[in-house]
């Protein structure tokens, strides 16, 4: 009886992670939910604001680096 239980446990220990990995890699199962969730979290107007913010930060960083390079020259 003990050997059968141990064999069952070993099979379970080996198949469970493989099954979870396989399920999580089925993108088409989760694609619609992920897209809907992303749209809830980042509506288009917020996405535009985020892009504008990134652009402002990038320009500020470039200006700072340019000023530092000019001071060091």
Judge if 2 and 35 occupy the same domain: yes
Angle at alpha carbon of residue 40, lines to 39 and 46, rounded to 5°: 75
Question: How many domains are there within the chain?
Answer: 2
Q: Is 51 helix (H, G, I), strand (E, B) or coil?
A: helix
Judge if 58 and 31 occupy the same domain: no
Judge if 4 and 23 occupy the same domain: yes
Please give the residue range of the domain that contains residue 66.
44-72
What does each of the 73 residues of the chain score in pLDDT, given as a tens digit? 789 999 999 999 999 999 999 998 998 988 999 999 988 887 877 778 888 999 999 999 999 999 999 998 7
Judge if 24 and 4 occupy the same domain: yes
pTM: 0.43
Judge if 14 and 37 occupy the same domain: yes
Judge if 68 and 51 occupy the same domain: yes
Q: CA-CA distance, 41 to 51, in Å (whole number)?
A: 15
Q: Residue 20: its pLDDT value, please?
A: 93
Give the side-chain half-sphere CA count within 13 A for 10: 6
């Amino acid at each position: 009886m003990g050997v059968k239980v141990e064999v069952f446990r070993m099979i379970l220990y080996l198949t469970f992670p493989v099954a979870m990995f396989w399920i999580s890699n089925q993108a088409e199962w989760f694609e619609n939910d992920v897209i809907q969730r992303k749209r809830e979290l980042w509506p288009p107007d917020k996405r535009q604001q985020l892009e504008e913010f990134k652009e402002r930060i990038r320009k500020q960083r470039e200006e700072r680096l340019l000023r530092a390079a000019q001071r060091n020259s």
